Amino acid sequence: MDIPVTTAIRALRAAQTDFEPCVYDYVEHGGTRHSAACLGVEEHATVKTIVMETDAKKPFIVLMHGDREISTKQMARVLGVKSVAPCSPETAHRHTGYLVGGTSPFGTRKPLPVYAEASIFELPQIYINGGRRGLLVKIAPAVLDQIVHPARVAVAVSE
């Protein structure tokens, strides 16, 4: 199978970590529900990479289960700021070098603080974006610690 070599794939290889590329047909606004269905995995095991910013326009990444949303109130509380919101697609692209729908926490253009929903680490494996639309990588959650050192948070709300 032809695997696109993205900045994220290069970062995973450079860290000499185990990962399995999973290619699927990307659909605009299909989200994790679509990718999970294509790969035959639970949406809870797919992890979204959301680029957000504080009210002071400081960018950061939140990694969240595919079937959960981020409580922006709770996230703002964790960071000790007034408010947080998702970045515009253009701003997210500028910070990460990735297009929305293909954003990976690995190999971002600028190093950004990363926060991960703590329960992600209870899963045996996760499916997270490999730096391109239609490409997820199957990894052990420990790989996140190894490469992006995320802070654990509890900010999930059911959709």
Q: What is the CATH number of the domain that holds 77?
A: 3.90.960.10
Measured distance CA(50)–CA(156) in Å, rounded: 13
Q: Using an 8 Å Cβ cutoff, are 90 and 125 in contact?
A: no
- When divided into structural domains, the chain yields a total of 1
Tens digits of pLDDT across the chain (159 residues) = 577 889 999 999 999 999 999 999 999 999 999 999 999 999 999 999 999 999 999 999 999 999 999 999 999 999 999 999 999 999 999 999 999 999 999 999 999 999 999 999 999 999 999 999 999 999 999 999 999 999 999 999 986
| Domain enclosing residue 82, as ranges | 7-158
* Residue at 1 is within a domain: no
> What pLDDT does residue 159 have?
66
pLDDT of amino acid 121: 98
Range 67-93 burial, b when 16+ CB lie within 10 A, else e: bbebbbeebbebbeeeebeebeeeebb
49 inside domain: yes
- DSSP character for 4? -
Residue 64 located in a structural domain: yes
Q: Nearest Cα to 103, choosing from 113, 89, 117?
A: 89
**Residue 85 domain-assigned (yes or no):** yes
**Residue for token digits 């992890």?**
47
Determine which helix (DSSP H) or strand (DSSP E) holds 157, and give its type and residue range: strand 156-158
- Residue identified by tokens 């595919």 is 66
Does 29 map to a domain?
Answer: yes
This prediction's pTM: 0.96
Question: Does residue 2 form part of some domain?
Answer: no
